[in-house]
Amino acid sequence: MLTDVRRSHKRWLLVAVSLFLLFGGSAIGQEPENAGRYVKLGVSRFARGDFDHAIEYFERALASRPHLASAYINRGKAH
C-alpha cells in the first residue's frame, strides 16, 4: 500500500515538473529569443576569465529557455 502511494506521488511530481519546464519560460513572460544572446555574452565573459558574470548570463539564458543545453554546459564550465 505504501509503495503504491509513493509511486503515485512520484508520478504526480514528474508531471508537475515536466509541465513547469515545458511552460515555465512563457508563463513568466521571458523572451526566449534573448537566450542565445545571453549565452554569447556569457561565453564572452568566460573567455575573459570573468566567471561570475558569465554564470549570471547563463542563468538569464536558462530563465528564458529552460531546455537550452549550451547554457547548462557553459554554466557548468564557469563554475
Tens digits of per-residue pLDDT, 3-41? 555 566 667 666 655 555 555 544 444 566 789 999 999
Whether 4 and 33 have beta carbons less than 8 Å apart is answered as no
Q: Taking the model in full, what pTM does it have? A: 0.61
The whole-number pLDDT of residue 33 equals 75
The whole-number pLDDT of residue 21 equals 52
Phi then psi for residue 7, to 5 deg, are -60, -45
The whole-number pLDDT of residue 27 equals 43
The whole-number pLDDT of residue 3 equals 59
Lowest-confidence segment of 18-22, 23-27, 44-48, 68-72 by average pLDDT: 23-27
10 Å Cβ neighbour count for 16? 10
> Residue 55 belongs to what domain range?
2-78
Q: How many domains does the chain have?
A: 1
CATH code at position 27: 1.25.40.10
